[in-house]
Amino acid sequence: MYTAARSTAEVPLLRLGLVGFAPEEEALLCVELARRAGERQMVWQLAPLGEADAWCVSGPRLRRLPDGSWRIVPVRVTDHPIHINPEHLEWPVAFSTPAGPPDFQPAHLFDLDSPAGIQTLLGHLEGWLRPAMVQFHLAAHIVQRRIDLGAGVYHVTVQGKLYAVVSRRGGVGVWPLADPAQLAQAEWNRRPDSADAMPASFVHSSVAETMWQYATRTTRDCLPRHYRRKRLYLRRPPQLPPRLLSDRCLLVVRELERAPATFNELLARTGAAAADLARQLAGLYMVGSVTADETRVVPPYAMSEPGWSSSLVASQRDSDGVDLDATVHLKAVGGGFQPAK
């Protein structure tokens, strides 16, 4: 047993997608996001809808359709409307007021002209994302302390309260009400393999998902140095829920599926910025999908493995261009939204 005093005060990145707002309205929200970062244990940033943890939608631009779906009218006439099926959303969506017809009662409403109201909304969204933030801090501890998950099961407690169960075989279970800020004082208790049962109320994820949450949210450079010099190979598709895989990640996977490449070759083939490519490769490295050791590759690249569902890879297999609607197709694996044509 030992206390998890973190060597660095890392905070996770949370991503907010905006739909239907004018530039000046987006600027107001950005001010409140920046203010939040100075007071809390996370950093909010704007992100494309396909990569966002939560959405904020302009209520006045919402139209409800007869089938119960939503259409968001764009600010610019040259843009496509966004068509949303609310039954398939797996992330929180908030609406600015006024929102839709009188009988429309979304879970999250906020007044765009009220800084206090926006701060209250962000607090609600952070509550919904609390398990992901806890996963981030658990993974940060595993990385920084080089925890060997093969050595057994770990019970993570704070003041005697079980916050998480970490097991390579059983995955990671997080108490839904766990406070991410308290994990700096957490005790990691090594337990036998038989102690990996998760309480029914815990939020469960695989070890791969937990490490992915860290790799894609940290501001640290987690890519091993030799991955920037040596040729890189795709070992297997990332065994992750489709929603976690961004278009940029899938593009890297597609290029490595086509042929091994060095870091600089991937920069040229994907058109990605160096920092972003390093982040995508770090995530793939942490979940065991890429390697710089050719002997660890079992050809052919198994893009047809069960659980692999990437319409991006499938639709672009014979194309050199990036499908700008790729996020939409990917999200549709779980059902969600698409641009209305």
Are 113 and 182 contained in the same domain? no
Are 124 and 142 contained in the same domain? no
| Residues 276-296: tens digit of each pLDDT | 999 999 999 999 999 999 998
Residue 128 CB: number of other CB atoms within 10 A?
15
| Residues 45-104: tens digit of each pLDDT | 999 888 899 999 999 999 989 988 899 998 887 788 889 888 888 899 999 999 877 778
Q: Is residue 252 part of a domain?
A: yes
Q: Is residue 4 part of a domain?
A: no
**ω before 60 within 30° of 0 (cis)?**
no
Q: Which amino acid is at 252?
A: V
Are 74 and 137 contained in the same domain? no
Are 205 and 229 contained in the same domain? no
Instruction: Select from 215, 244, 273 the last residue of a domain.
Output: 215
Q: Is residue 287 part of a domain?
A: yes
Are 237 and 198 contained in the same domain? no
How far lies 169's CA from each of 87, 89, 118, 324, in Å?
Answer: 32, 29, 41, 38
Q: Coil, strand, or helix at residue 91? A: coil
Mean pLDDT of the chain: 83
CA dist 96 and 112 (Å) reads 6
Q: Is residue 331 part of a domain?
A: yes
Q: Is residue 327 part of a domain?
A: yes
Report the pLDDT value the prediction gives residue 286, as an integer from 0 to 100: 93
- What total number of domains does the chain contain? 3
Residue 230 CB: number of other CB atoms within 10 A?
16
| Residues 224-262: tens digit of each pLDDT | 999 999 999 999 999 898 888 888 999 999 999 999 999
Are 239 and 307 contained in the same domain? yes
Residue 287 CB: number of other CB atoms within 10 A?
23
Q: Is residue 231 part of a domain?
A: yes
Domain range for 210: 131-215
Report the pLDDT value the prediction gives residue 50, as an integer from 0 to 100: 84
pTM value? 0.78
Instruction: Select from 189, 215, 241 the last residue of a domain.
Output: 215
pLDDT range class, residue 335, cuts 50, 70, 90: very low
Instruction: Select from 102, 128, 154 the last residue of a domain.
Output: 128
Are 280 and 312 contained in the same domain? yes
Q: Is residue 5 part of a domain?
A: no
236 or 10: which leads in pLDDT: 236
